[in-house]
Structure formats: C-alpha cells, structure tokens
Amino acid sequence: MMTSLVMTDAFQRLSLALAIGILVGIERGWQDRDAAPGKRVAGIRTYGLSSFLGGFCGFLQPLTGPILPTAIFAFFCITILSFSRMQAEREEDYSATGAVAAITVFALGFGAVVADMTATAASAVAVTALLAAREPLHGFLRKLTWLELRAALILLTMTVVILPILPNETVDAWEMINPFELWMLTVLVAAVSFAGYVMIRLSDARAGILLTGACGGIVSSTALTLSFARQSTEMPALSPLLSAGAMLAGAVSLTRVLLICGVVAPDVLLELAASLGPAAAILAAGGGLAGLARRSDGGSDFAPRNPLEVMVVFRFALLLATVTIVTRATLAVFGTQSLVVVAFITGLGDLDAITLSITKLSAQAVPADAAARAIAVAACANLLAKTGLAASAGSLGYSVRLAVTTGIAILAGAAGLFLT
C-alpha cells in the first residue's frame, strides 16, 4: 500500500513537471510562431522535455545522491547555452530570455518533484505570465520617465527601508501618534495612488475620457473633476463625456474608501458598504449612461501630479497626523457626536486622511456604526465640494449633469445609511 502511494505521488509530480514545461513552451512557441522550423533553439517539445528532465533529476536525487542530478543539470546548461550562442551569432539577436527560460523550466521541473507542488505550479504560472508580458512591459519602459522610476524607488524605500525601523508604539504624551502605523497608512494610500497614476500614464488618447476618469479617481477625483471642468468650458461639446468621466472618478473614489476600510477596519466596512455602495453604484451607472450617450475618439489631457513626489508624501503624512490629533482631541473633549462635524469639515478637502483617522479610532473608542456614519458624512462633504468646483469652473452642461447625479448618489447613500 505504501509503495502504491509513493508511486502515485511520484507520477503526479512528474506529470506536473511535464505540464510546466509544456505551459512555458506554448508561450515561447507563440512568441516565435513566425520562425521557420528548426530555426529555434527550443519549442514546446524542448521545454516540455527540459522540465521533465529536471523532474526526473529530482526523482533520482534520493536514490543516487546529488552528484548525478548536478552533472545532468550542468550538461543541460552547457547544451542550451551552446545552441543559444549559435542562434545569436546566426541571427545577430543576443536576447538571453530563451536560454534563461529553459534553465528556469528545468529548475521548476526539479522543484515539482522535491518541493511543494502548489508553490511550484504558481511559480510556473507567474513565470509564463512574465514571459507573455513582453510587449506591454517593453511599452511601459518606453513610456517610463526618470520621475516615475524615482517614484517607484521612493515607494520601495518607504516600504522596505523606513517602515521596519519606525517604532511601533505611541511616542507622544497623549498616546495619539504611532509612527509605524502612521507611515504604514501613508504607504497604503501612496501605493494605491501610484497604481492609478501608472494606469493613466499607460493609457493614451485612444483610451478615452472614461478610462482617464476611472483611473483618475484612484489618484485624485477632486483634481480630475476640476481639470475636466476647465476642459468643458474650452470644449462644450464634450461636456457629457467629461461629466461622465468625473462621475466615474467619484465612483472609484468611494470604492477606494471602502477598500481602505476593508484593509484597516473590516468591521467598519460592513457598516459603511450600505451607504457608500449604493452611492458608488449610482455614480458609476450615471457615468456609464452619460458615456454611452456620446462617443468620442479624443482623449483627455488630464495629467495628474506624481503622487510619490517626496514633498507630496510628507505633506500627506503631516496631514494624516494632524487629522488624527484633531479627531482624537475632539473626541476626547466633546464625545462621539462631535466626530460627524470634524468629518464633514475635513472631508471637504481630503477624504483619505479622515477615513484613515476614523478607522484607526474605531477599534479603540468609536463603535463601528458611528465610524461608518462619520466616514459617510465625510464622503458626502467631498462629493459636495467637487460639485461646487464643477459649478464654479465648468460649463453649464457639465456642472448640471454632475450635480444631478451626485445629488441622487447622496440620497441613495443617505437612504442606505438610515435603513441599516
């Protein structure tokens, strides 16, 4: 019985090794599908055999020791590199991706036998996805500027270098500021904002106003609403599409608040979803209907500021710390009922800071329903502020469409809040 189980496990692992090679081989074969037969170093069969050979080496290791598998691997590497060199000299193409992929496939096949099968299979899928993303990645690099590369490095520095060395305890006499938590929340918002910024940079004019609006909601729905308002006065004929983009930005902004609550305080998310969920749905539906009413091949010149500029990051951290102190001090002096007033005033200018501040408080001093109510009020204030900006800087068609949809969204959110 034991022998049967061992053989079944070995068969499954060797089958996985072969499947990994075939998976990568399909992707590599598709990339080189225009090459003539015999002109490629490796195709589906070669990658499949390479992975199976790696798996068989893993199967042999307990029986023969590490010397034979190591010798086979060395011979395999020499063979692959030799053929790759001959192909490079013939075609004057010195890309090492094929050779590295073949060696990686051998290693994955070995891992399928000696390591965890789930982790190995997931690694194989990730490797295949990376190989298949050649054109998008190259296109991204062509569009990448030094400022954006620096922003990515700043995000990594914030996460990997600064965050671990910060004290994870309050450092003030009133026990309000925890540097580790404060910086972690700053990193969270910065990462989400940078993801939206990258999406906007990757989209071109053909992507259209609607995509820019949806992506802009991740970075700053307020900035996008104001930008679209100014464009609507310059191009009144595009007011319906521009208002649609602003509506989508508002919907994404509310969804972003729900996402932050889900990460920081899931109990608040359960209470808040009944309010912000319907409001976001109304804005998304309004944006979709307004976008379908008229199509345009033009895009938008909305160019958001890089959210990971050093001063932008520190300004948000300072704002978050200030809002946290004001919120907790107000709560201590005036009680829970005062939180709504603070949320409304703060929400007029920034929704993220008050959301993060309240969700941090919820587990300590504020019930989940009170925290959700305060965040909903802040979101309402933020929507009203954007409507005011649209009315002051946008065309009549732009501001009226946005105001009507926003009003319906606020009513839907209020209904959801009071009915729960």
Final residue belonging to a domain, choices 87, 112, 132: 132
Q: Which amino acid is at 348?
A: L
How many domains in the chain? 2
Q: Are 219 and 165 part of one and the same domain?
A: yes
Question: Which structural domain range is residue 105 located in?
Answer: 2-132
Give the integer Cα–Cα distance in Å for 290 and 327: 38
**Taking a C-beta distance cutoff of 8 angstroms, is the pair 59, 14 a contact?**
yes
Phi and psi at residue 34, to the nearest 5°: -85, -10
Do 246 and 115 fall within a single domain?
no
User: Residue 171 carries which DSSP code?
Assistant: -
Token reading at 43: 């195709």
Q: What's the confidence (pLDDT) of residue 104?
A: 92
Reading the block at residue 184, the tokens are 């972690």
Looking at the structure, do residues 168 and 126 belong to the same domain, yes or no? no
Residues 108, 148 within the same domain: no
Look up residue 351 and give its two tokens.
């929704």
- Assess whether 39 and 81 both reside in one domain: yes
Domain end point (choices 85, 110, 132): 132
Whether residue 379 sits in one domain with residue 309 = yes
Domain check: are 32 and 181 in the same one? no
The strand ranges marked E within 79-160 are none
Over the range 99-134, which residues count as b (16 or more CB within 10 Å of their CB) and which as e? bebbbbbbbbbbbbbbeeeeebbebbeebbeebbee
Query: Which candidate, 228, 226, 247, 250, places its Cα nearest to that of 239?
Result: 228
DSSP 32: T
The last residue of a domain, from among 132, 165, 192: 132
Give yes or no: residues 332 and 184 share one domain.
yes
CA distance 408 to 61: 68
Q: Quick check: 262 and 359 in contact, CB under 8 A?
A: no
Tally Cβ neighbours within 10 Å of residue 200: 21
pLDDT for the residue numbered 203: 60
Do 269 and 367 lie in one domain? The reply is yes
Go through the chain and tell me how many residues it has.
420
Tell me: do 268 and 398 sit in the same domain.
Answer: yes
In this structure, are 362 and 264 located in the same domain? yes
pLDDT (tens, 9 = 90+) of the chain, 420 residues, equals: 335 546 677 888 889 999 998 998 888 777 666 555 555 556 788 888 999 999 999 988 888 888 898 899 999 999 888 887 887 777 766 667 788 888 999 999 999 999 899 889 999 998 988 888 777 777 767 777 777 777 778 878 888 888 889 888 877 766 667 788 778 877 876 776 676 667 666 665 445 567 777 777 777 787 788 778 877 887 888 788 889 889 998 999 999 899 988 888 888 888 899 999 999 999 999 988 887 765 544 445 555 556 666 677 777 778 777 777 777 777 667 766 678 888 888 888 778 778 888 887 755 567 888 888 999 999 999 999 899 888 888 899 899 999 999 999 999 999 988 887
Q: Which residue has the tokens 């009549």?
A: 396
Whether this prediction's pTM lies above 0.95 is answered by no
Same structural domain, 33 and 67: yes
Q: Which residue has the tokens 């399928």?
A: 112
